[in-house]
Chains A and B, each alone.
Chain A
Amino acid sequence: MTNDAAFVEFQRVQKSYDGEILVVKDLNLSMPKGEFLTMLGPSGSGKTTCLMMLAGFETATHGEIMLDGRPINNIPPHKRGIGMVFQNYALFPHMTVAENLSFPLEVRKIGKDEREEKVKRALDMVQMGAFGSRRPAQLSGGQQQRIALARALVFEPELVLMDEPLGALDKQLREHMQFEITRLAHELGITTVYVTHDQTEALTMSDRVAVFDDGRIQQLAPPDLLYEEPENSFVAQFIGENNTLEGVVKSIVGDSCVVTLDDGSEIDAKPVNVTKAGERTKVSIRPERVEFNKDRLHADAHTLKATVKEFIYMGDVFRFRLSVAGNDDFIIKTRNAPDAIRLSPGQEVEIGWLAHDCRALDA
């Protein structure tokens, strides 16, 4: 991050298409220059609408969008100078790859020699130097994706928007391109807004992730915080695998609280969205933070009785499905280490966890 002043800023932005339903509700977001920010959320959460407002293809119903300190609500898309990569690449089928890349330079009235040089450099940057004379239809999905990326970068924009650019690729190629895109973004120091519904993509690529739901940003945080310290039960559910147990807060003491689950058993948790005893809560715990080895827990930690329902061998990890406090889908993961214990279905175990790994969130 080169400076701390906001480069892209959404100020109280709202968007409605029909005048009845708000697709984006009161969005506030500020991005410094050079940041890679991902908008993550289920479909219909408003993330693509936000991107389109930033690109200029949709107008904000209310609020201001600022780019480098200037309000851009009234600037048409072609004057914003924002590079964009589309979901289906949107490579012009009637032009060759080189012509596609040359197009943004031509409309900027850049001379022929300089154009050719920039096109060549951009193609080399994505390792597609030999493909300039091909048509987009002659390229594979991954190659088209590289060209689309090169085309968005060739006119050296300071801000690049990407709308689920890897959605159409297979898993292996997707992982490779994730790496490629982040590398380029950091090397060139461009500010990137990336939209996806794939949480792995969001976690591996971004400096910060904005989790969208219901037209609002539910949490805006770096990936590790997002995973380890979700601020509400939507984020906890949406990011990664998560176990949820419902109950009522019994007592709060400082940084720790006791929750009485619906079947009467008690557990330790960290109060996040609960403030006083008697509140209903959903506690959230990651599968890999659950312990069934009693030696690793505090002596006075609360434990729960659980019955193993299923054992799934996944290679690097073991995955167990347990029945805990009325929840039949309680998942535990352990690493496939030499000393790992293999539980078998039907077996009864006692499970527990460290209080700060278990978060008492909103009900």
Chain B
Amino acid sequence: MTDATQSGPMLAADGTPLKKSLARSLRRRKLRALALIAPLLLFVLLSFVIPIMSMLFRSVENSIVADTLPLTVVELRNWDADSGELPDEALYAAFTKDMITAIDEKTHTRLGSRLNYEQTGMSSMFRRSGRQIKKLDPETDGPFKDKLIEIHDGWGDVETWRTIKTHAVPITNGYFLNAIDMRRTPEGAQAQPEDKQILIKLFGRTLMMSLIITASCILLAYPVSYLLATLPMRVSNLLMILVLLPFWTSLLVRTSAWKVMLQQQGVINETLVWLGLVADDARLVIINNQFGTIIAMTHILLPFMILPMYSVMQTIPDSYTRAAKSMGATNWTTFWRIYFPQSIPGIGAGSILVFILAIGYYITPEIVGGTKGVFISNRIAYHISSSLNWGLAAALGTILLAVVLLLYWCYDKIVGIDNVKLG
């Protein structure tokens, strides 16, 4: 107990600072803990963190132009894009040299596809010109300006060179501008033409529909969770199995089942027609639109709302409601003033879970959403697998991630993440 009287850091019995001594004694335990989580950490790193980081990086990465056409990019710096005149012979010579190298390495078509995202027709221009440029000899066949324009008149178009110059930067904001319905032009960021503006609308629709799905999940899940939490164990276990049953069924099967239910010749429409509630020629359109997506996704995400709600409600003791009633509160007052406020953490946890799952959902909207009921994730998937514009897909994904994090942050500010309980 002499340590208490001396000034400065506390010392252990052998004179080393207490903090150091403590750290040393805990080191073994920390290393052991680290060794235990190492396999999972490695797995998560390799299969989750690194791919995501690399994908996020793709949303700004744009070295393809500078890598494929290094000499051209240098020459382009001397050319004034706003002059309205074609570049001079030196640039055409540099371009021919670059192209011949690129054609050897077969990278010119990739550059063509990349530039095609910005200006339609670039892809075929690069592909077609390739065959003929290959025959040129960069040392002897100059001057190249007229020859190239002869090969494809696109090389005589100022716009072509302006596009190449605009997208020659190694790090670009072009994909992000595309993702919010704008584009990178020599004059700076500009709005896309009206007929190409779909992404912001799609983002809005995704958020809106996710909110509707979350709200309908809350409405449907609350009474069920309440029942589960208050019924005797034997009955509630049985009900719980019914709630979990969809979990054990393939997502694809469930979604397809909704297709069977909702389509115009489907179970619901047939039944309504048979009952005479709906005329045969006026069958309800409840699939391949937003309604279909909302119904199917509410059903699929419902367990994610019920489970957190249930586990929170289970922890609310009977004695609270009893106490309230003994003090003279009616059933409704007891529920609204005592029970409901204590169940809010469950609603919060369920809502976050459902909303975040909904906002990135892909399979269900793809199958039952038609064209009007698809989400932003379907657009991302399209760019990943069909248009192969991975940069735009990555930008869309990054924005989606940012939106979710932002909402999460707002939620933390308003409700408080400490109030979220999963049980």
Q: Are B322 and A77 in contact (CB under 8 A)?
A: yes
Asked if A108 lies at the interface with its beta carbon under 8 angstroms from chain B, I say yes
Binds B, one of A29-37, A61-69, A86-94, A269-277: A86-94
Does A103 reach chain B (CB closer than 8 Å)? yes
Chain B interface (Cβ within 8 Å of chain A)? 317, 319-320, 322-331, 333-334, 337-338, 341-342
A57 touches B341 (CB 8 A): no
Establish whether residues B322 and A86, one from each chain, have CB atoms under 8 Å apart when the complex forms: yes
Q: Is there contact, CB below 8 Å, between B325 and A90?
A: no
Q: In whole angstroms, how far apart are the Cα atoms of A108 and B333 in the complex?
A: 11
B331 proximity list for chain A (CB < 8 A): 78
- Kindly identify which residue among A57, A80, A107, A152 contacts B329, using a CB–CB cutoff of 8 Å: A107
Contact in complex: B317, A103 (CB < 8 Å): no
Cβ contact of B325, chosen from A77, A88, A161, cutoff 8 A:
A77
CB distance from B3 to the nearest CB of A (A): 32
Say whether, besides A94-B341, A103-B337, A107-B333, A78 and B328 are in contact (CB < 8 Å): yes
Which residues from B are CB-within-8-Å of A152?
326
Beyond A57-B322, A78-B328, A90-B317, 16 additional contacts (C-beta under 8 Å) are: A57-B325, A77-B322, A78-B326, A80-B326, A84-B326, A84-B327, A88-B317, A90-B319, A92-B338, A92-B342, A94-B341, A103-B324, A104-B328, A107-B333, A152-B326, A155-B327
Q: How far is the CA of A81 from the CA of B337 in the complex (A)?
A: 19
Q: Give the top 8 A-B pairs by smallest Cβ distance, nearest first.
A: A104-B327, A90-B323, A90-B319, A84-B326, A77-B325, A107-B329, A86-B319, A78-B325
Contact partners of A55 in chain B: CB under 8 A: 322, 326
Main secondary structure of the interface of B (DSSP, over half): helix
A86 with B323: CB separation less than 8 A: yes
Closest B-chain residue to A80, C-beta based?
Answer: B326
CA A77 – CA B319 in complex, angstroms? 13
A55, B342: Cα distance in complex, Å: 24
Q: Is residue A46 contacting chain B, with contact meaning CB distance below 8 A?
A: no
Q: How far is the CA of A77 from the CA of B323 in the complex (A)?
A: 10
Q: Does A83 contact B (CB under 8 A)?
A: yes
Chain A 147-163, CB-CB to B under 8 Å as 1, else 0, gives: 00001100100000100
Q: Tell me which residues across on chain B come within 8 A of A193, comparing CB atoms.
A: none
Q: Does A195 contact B (CB under 8 A)?
A: no
CA distance A80 to B328 in the complex (A): 8
Which residue of A has the minimal Cβ distance to B321?
A90
B322: chain A residues at CB < 8 Å are 55, 57, 77, 84, 86, 90
The docked-state distance in angstroms from the alpha carbon of A84 to that of B322 is: 9
Contacts of B328 in A (CB 8 A): 78-79, 81, 104, 107-108, 155
Kindly name the residue among A56, A76, A81, A104 whose own CB sees the greatest number of chain B CB atoms within 10 A: A104
CB < 8 Å neighbour of A84 from B317, B323, B330, B341:
B323
Q: Is A82 an interface residue (CB 8 A)?
A: yes
Q: Collect the chain A residues with CB atoms within 8 Å of residue B333's CB.
A: 107
Question: Within the complex, what minimum Cβ distance (angstroms) separates B157 from chain A?
Answer: 69
